[in-house]
Every structure is written in C-alpha cells, then in structure tokens.
C-alpha cells in the first residue's frame, strides 16, 4: 500500500517539498540548541516549561480526538464516518509523533529519556503518560493499516483487529486524562491544581481535533477525487461545536470560582493571564492579548457552527474550524502552561517568550507531523479510491436495500381478528378502530378485543 504515498501531481510534491524544507530548518535549529543547551530558548529557572510543553499538551488532545470518528464508525456502525476513520487514526498517530518529539526537544539530555522505562517509578504519572502515549501510537498505526489492508483485499476484519479497535477507544480517553493528571496533581502549582483539568482537556480535545480533521477533509475534498462526505463533516462540526461550548463553559466556571472566592494563590495566576501584573512600575502582560483573542475566537466559531448556513457552507465551515483550532491552541497551550509559573512559587515575576531557535524547532516538528500525516492520508485515500465501487453501483445497492426493507415491512404485517364479531383486519390499527367504533372499546384497551390471526 505504501506505493500510494509516492504517487502524486505537482501540488502534492510541492507541498511535500515545502514541508521537507521546514523540517530541515527545524532540524538545523535543534542541532544548534543541542550544541548550546536550553539557554538558547526563552525558558529560565522560573519558567522551565514553555513552547515545547505547550504544544505537547495541545497535541495530546488532537491525538485523542480520533475517537470522535472511530467510536461511531466501529462501535455503532455509523457508515457516514467510515471513509474518515483511517484518516482520523493517522491524524492521531501523527499527533502522537509530534508529542514525543516535543518532549525530546524539551530535554537537555534526550538520551536520558529511556530512564523512564529503565528505572520506572509506579507513583510517577510521567511513567503512565509514556505508556499510554506510546501504546496509543502503536494502536492507531496497527488498526488503521490493518483496516486498509482488509479493505484492499475485500476482506472482513479479523477478530484480533476488532479487539484492538475496542481497546483503542477508552485508550484515547486515557491519554488526555493522564496528561491532565500530570498537571492537576501538582499541589505546588495552584493554577493547574483543579479537578476541572481533565474535563477541560477532553472538551478542548474534542473541539480542536475534529476541527483539524474537518479542515483536512475539506482540503482533501478540494484537491483530490476522494470525498469524505459533506454529511460526515457537518456531523463532526456539530460535535466540535458542542465540545467547544462545554470548553467555554468550564473556563467560565474556573473564572467564577477563582474571582468569587478570591483565593490569592489562584487569583494572581489568573490576573497575570487575563489582565497582567504590575511590579516595580513594570507591567507584565505578554499573554493578555493572546488569551482574549482565544476567547473571542472561541465564541465567534461556536456561533458560526450553530448557525446552519455557516455550518453547511464549506468556506465558512473551514473558517470556523480554523478559529476553534487557534482558540484551543492558545488556551490549552501557552495560556495553560506559562501562567502556571508566573508568578513563581517564591513570588518572582519573570515573563517567558519563545526564542527564534525555539520557534523554528517547534515549526519543524509541526512540519514533520504534517508530512507524516500527508503520506499516511495519501495511502488511505489511494486504497479507498481503489476499492470503492463506482457511484452508480452504490446507488443501485442502496435502492436494493430500500426495496428489501419495504418487503420486510410487508412480510411483518399480520392480520388481526375482532373476537367479539369475528371480523378480520389487515393490521392491528384497523382492528382497534373497528373495536372503538362498533364496540365502544378505547384504542388503548383494544387488545381486549383484537387478537392476532394464527396461521
């Protein structure tokens, strides 16, 4: 199947070349960081997590969101999502690759990452995060590839594959939940120490991930012969809208709890994020415009997805999805990680802003993730187009199915007899009407008079 990834036209190879060039720039920037250490980043002793961990946190959610199309398609046999399942799983796998890379570049000594496995500590949430992320990556790759292979050979799913699919569904929920516990369990960081962290993570994930999938679906629909189905994209848009509403609601709950209670340790972090802090005549407010932009984009995108005309028009749908994606990226990325450190546990206010090197590395990782997704999606599209029957045949099959259903309905219809006068009727409704009219028996009690005719 891999041969589908190396077939493409001018636009396809131009896109691949652009991504490779960005990956090369990111790789060169990482080499510079590796040689000079993390001092070339914007991070400091006070703010030890920055752009890398912010992207990691956001992308875990994107990875988890594949369950939005996988669950209805496999568990409830929702056929409209069938064409999108493999693409959604490959999107999840690509996001996990980016997650792992963002963790690696955040380490001053990436060679020590295996210490998590070689010296495991059962009380460390980091160990479980490592397990669920690597496991989810393998599950997505194996499932999506095996489903495509079965489709290519026109075979059903093997039993072991069905078991893996069922395992992957709760696993997707677990990866973002465990990551949320990583923050929520830190008592020394009041900004993160909230029971709403995991639900907020999941709501943001089920809004941003599907939005990215919709944008990918619209791009694929425009530039290839593959049509993921506008009905499927609209349904996913509804899911994203509901998830975004839940996400905004929980942000509101956090704000009410913090400002109404006035707890000083929580309040100062929220003050920094939403209004900025002033100390010694200097105002620290670099994140203020970002977080208000995030909220504005979130509200506007929800309104666009609720209004039917904008939700069903591809260009407006794409714009709304991009806004959701940007809103959650700010909220669950920089808007979540950085304020946890400002002010520090010792009351020191030192702002963080990513350096050029840091930004280029992050850009390179995003480009690599998009490159992996492009190649895998190309395989999925190639196999689907190769194995899908022509549209005329599909329409004929649907007509035959409808006829079969009508025949079944006719066959299921049985005759009923009025036991008071032995009159026979074609169905129960007619018998009940007769009982009410001739024998003054209400329709609700017509079973006293009407009995099924035995053959």
pLDDT tens digit string along 75-119?
677 777 777 777 887 888 888 889 889 988 988 787 777 777 777
Q: Answer whether residue 69 shows pLDDT above 80.
A: no
**Same domain assignment for residues 319 and 442:** no
State the Cα–Cα distance between residues 270 and 252, nearest whole angstrom: 12
Residue 313: give its domain's CATH number: 1.20.1630.10
Residue 411's pLDDT band (boundaries 50, 70, 90)?
very low
Q: Which domain holds residue 420?
A: 416-452
Domain closes at, from 387, 408, 428: 387
The residue written with tokens 């569904």 in the block is 169
Residue 399 lies in a domain: no
Residue 280 lies in a domain: yes
Mean pLDDT for the stretch of residues 56-72: 77
Domain closes at, from 387, 405, 440: 387
**Same domain assignment for residues 65 and 171:** yes
Cα-Cα-Cα-Cα dihedral of 191, 193, 196, 197, to 10°?
80
**Which residue, among 211, 62, 80, 195, has the nearest Cα to 140 in the 3D structure?**
62
Residue 404 lies in a domain: no
Mean pLDDT for the stretch of residues 409-435: 76
pLDDT computed for residue 413 by the predictor = 62
Residue 57 lies in a domain: yes
Residue 209 lies in a domain: yes
Write out pLDDT tens, residues 205-247: 888 888 888 888 888 888 888 877 788 888 888 888 888 999 9
Most confident of 41-55, 85-99, 385-399: 41-55
Q: How many CB atoms lie within 10 A of CB 450?
A: 25
Percent of the chain with pLDDT over 70: 92
Mean pLDDT for the stretch of residues 305-324: 87
**Same domain assignment for residues 425 and 374:** no
**Is residue 287 a contact partner of residue 339, using CB atoms and an 8 Å limit?**
yes
What is the bridge-based pairing of β-strands 416-418 and 450-452? antiparallel
Exposure on the CB side of residue 122, measured as CA atoms within 13 A: 0
**Same domain assignment for residues 178 and 267:** yes
pLDDT computed for residue 38 by the predictor = 87
Residue 3 lies in a domain: no
92-106, 318-332, 369-383, 429-443: least confident range: 429-443
Residue 143 lies in a domain: yes
Domain closes at, from 346, 367, 387: 387
Distance of CA 113 to the CA centre of its chain: 27
**Same domain assignment for residues 332 and 431:** no
353-356: Cβ within 8 A, 24+ apart: 353/42, 353/286, 354/41, 354/42, 354/50, 354/51, 355/40, 355/41, 355/42
Residue 368 or 416, more confident: 368
Residue 315's pLDDT band (boundaries 50, 70, 90)?
confident
1-5, 37-41, 244-248: least confident range: 1-5
Q: Answer whether residue 398 shows pLDDT above 90.
A: no
What is residue 343's three-state secondary structure? coil
**Same domain assignment for residues 319 and 428:** no
Percent of the chain with pLDDT over 90: 16
Instruction: Check the CA dihedral 213-217-220-226 and report its sign.
Output: positive
**Same domain assignment for residues 265 and 306:** yes
């Amino acid at each position: 199947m891999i041969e589908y990834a190396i077939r493409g036209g001018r636009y396809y190879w131009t896109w691949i070349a652009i991504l490779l060039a960005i990956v090369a720039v990111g790789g060169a920037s990482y080499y510079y960081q590796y040689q000079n250490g993390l001092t070339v980043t914007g991070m400091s002793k006070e703010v030890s997590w920055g752009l890398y961990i912010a992207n990691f946190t956001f992308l875990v959610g994107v990875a988890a969101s594949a369950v939005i199309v996988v669950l209805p398609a496999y568990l409830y046999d929702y056929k409209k999502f069938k064409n999108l399942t493999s693409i959604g799983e490959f999107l999840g796998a690509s996001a996990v690759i980016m997650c792992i890379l963002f963790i690696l570049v955040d380490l001053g000594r990436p060679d020590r990452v295996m210490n998590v496995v070689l010296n495991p500590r059962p009380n460390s949430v980091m160990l479980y995060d490592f397990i669920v992320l690597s496991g989810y990556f393998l599950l997505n790759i194996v499932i999506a590839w095996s489903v495509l292979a079965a489709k290519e050979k026109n075979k059903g799913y093997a039993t072991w594959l069905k078991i893996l699919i069922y395992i992957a569904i709760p696993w997707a929920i677990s990866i973002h939940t465990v990551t949320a516990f990583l923050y929520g369990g830190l008592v020394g960081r009041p900004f993160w120490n909230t029971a709403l962290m995991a639900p907020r993570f999941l709501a943001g994930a089920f809004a941003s991930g599907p939005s990215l999938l919709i944008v990918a679906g619209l791009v694929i629909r425009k530039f290839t012969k593959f049509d993921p189905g506008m009905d499927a994209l609209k349904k996913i848009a509804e899911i994203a809208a509901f998830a975004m509403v839940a996400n905004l609601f929980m942000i509101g709950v956090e704000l009410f709890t913090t400002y109404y209670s006035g707890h000083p340790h929580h309040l100062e972090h929220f003050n920094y994020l939403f209004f900025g802090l002033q100390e010694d005549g200097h105002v620290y407010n670099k994140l203020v415009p970002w977080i208000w932009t995030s909220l504005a984009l979130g509200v506007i995108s929800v309104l666009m997805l609720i209004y039917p005309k904008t939700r069903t028009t591809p260009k407006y749908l794409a714009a709304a999805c991009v806004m959701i994606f940007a809103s959650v990226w700010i909220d669950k990325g920089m808007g979540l990680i950085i304020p946890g450190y400002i002010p520090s546990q010792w009351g020191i206010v030192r702002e963080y802003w990513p350096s050029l090197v840091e930004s280029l590395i992050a850009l390179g990782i995003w480009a690599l993730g998009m490159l992996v997704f492009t190649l895998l999606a190309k395989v999925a599209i190639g196999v689907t187009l190769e194995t899908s029957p022509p549209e005329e045949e599909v329409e004929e099959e649907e007509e035959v199915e409808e006829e079969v259903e009508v025949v079944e309905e006719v066959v299921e219809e049985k005759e009923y007899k009025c036991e008071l006068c032995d009159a026979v009727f074609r169905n129960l409704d007619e018998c009940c009407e007769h009982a009410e009219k001739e024998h003054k028996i209400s329709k609700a009690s017509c079973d006293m008079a009407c009995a099924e005719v035995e053959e």
